Amino acid sequence: MHYADNVDYPRLLSRPSIYIPGLAILFGILLYTQAGATSLGQALAGLFGMAEGSPFATNLLVALVVTAVVAINVAVVMRLRLKHQVYVVWAELALLVLLFFYSFDLSFEFIRRKIGFLLTQGLVTTLYVSAVSIVIASVLAMIGAIAKLSSNGIALGIANFYTSLFRGLPLLMQIYMIYLGLPQLGYVIDAVPAGILALSLCYGAYMTEIFRAGIESIPRGQWEASRALGLKPKDTLTRIILPQAMRIIIPPTGNQFIAMLKDSSLVSVVGVWELMYLARTQGQTEFRHVEMMITASLIYWILSIVLELIQGRIERRYNRAQTR
């Protein structure tokens, strides 16, 4: 959007040389994969009164209909305004994903029975573990980044070792080491704090590198101007450098938060009743694994969307000076 030139090149999808081969390929794939035999294909064929036709005829019909629908859809969406295009495409793709889940012939009655517990116990625990870990990881990352940029050998050594160790070991190992290892030293630790500690340390190590790179991306001149004005090191960092570095730090940090949200499911190995743990155990009792897995997945997705929206807001705030 920001990078569009002021030239009206013919739009990609309005070029027949792309549009038509594209549709041909889609048609070919549908035909080759025997779309007529799928549940969706059968339903479509039934709609056209061809449920009893030969397999090839059904495939042909389904491939044709789907290709035509896509062709019309693209033609219509192309005529919308950019903002609406994004929403429409998003909604359509989301619908397809939901349709995919729906095709599993799920027992909604079972989901309805279990979702309350999944939310009140599982979701709450996941949110709690993730939120606390995010806060601690951010603090660790900030300390780590400043240590790595300092000229204090001890701080530098600790920070280097920290990022090396906690980025290098598998997160699963870290969780076990903290939960099972610390008691060996005489510190008995509960499952939830152990999980939070492991997540914070691991993600703090990744984010240390993000924060360091963000700070380093600010030109020397900014430090010098700030120092020449007499600002103290603390003020130079918090008032001049970090606000500018935030623009660079936020997008990858948003990534980390979303990844952490889902990695919080790893703490289920030490018996924390978070979302994934409950989804698995609740599904087991009545052999309804798929129902629970899909429900949990959708909840993770919704949480990720919320994080994406928050990230977008913060990004816009820090981009203020550049876009105006």
Cβ distance to another protein smaller for residue 44 or 215:
215
User: Can residue 154 be called a binding residue for another protein (CB under 8 A)?
Assistant: no
Residues sharing a CB contact under 8 Å with residue 42, sequence separation 6 or more, in sequence order: 36, 51, 58
**Which listed residue (11, 15, 84, 239) binds another protein by CB under 8 A?**
239
Cβ distance to another protein smaller for residue 186 or 230:
230
Site string for another protein, 160-199 (x = CB under 8 A): ----------------------------------------
User: Can residue 240 be called a binding residue for another protein (CB under 8 A)?
Assistant: yes
**Which listed residue (19, 128, 176, 318) binds another protein by CB under 8 A?**
318
Q: Please, what is the minimum distance in Å from the beta carbon of residue 224 to another protein? A: 5
User: Can residue 216 be called a binding residue for another protein (CB under 8 A)?
Assistant: no
Cβ distance to another protein smaller for residue 92 or 224:
224
Cβ distance to another protein smaller for residue 232 or 289:
232
CB 31 within 8 A of CB 55: no
Number of residues that bind another protein (CB under 8 A): 22
Q: Which of residues 114-133 bind another protein (CB under 8 A)?
A: none
Q: Which of residues 269-298 bind another protein (CB under 8 A)?
A: none
User: Can residue 228 be called a binding residue for another protein (CB under 8 A)?
Assistant: yes
The Cα–Cα gap between 277 and 271 comes to 8
Q: Please, what is the minimum distance in Å from the beta carbon of residue 243 to another protein? A: 5
User: Can residue 243 be called a binding residue for another protein (CB under 8 A)?
Assistant: yes
Residue with tokens 């949110």: 127
Segment near another protein (CB under 8 A); pick from 8-16, 64-72, 283-291, 313-321 = 313-321
**Which listed residue (97, 173, 229, 298) binds another protein by CB under 8 A?**
229
Q: Which residues bind another protein (CB under 8 A)?
A: 219, 221-222, 224-232, 235, 239-240, 243-244, 318, 320-322, 324
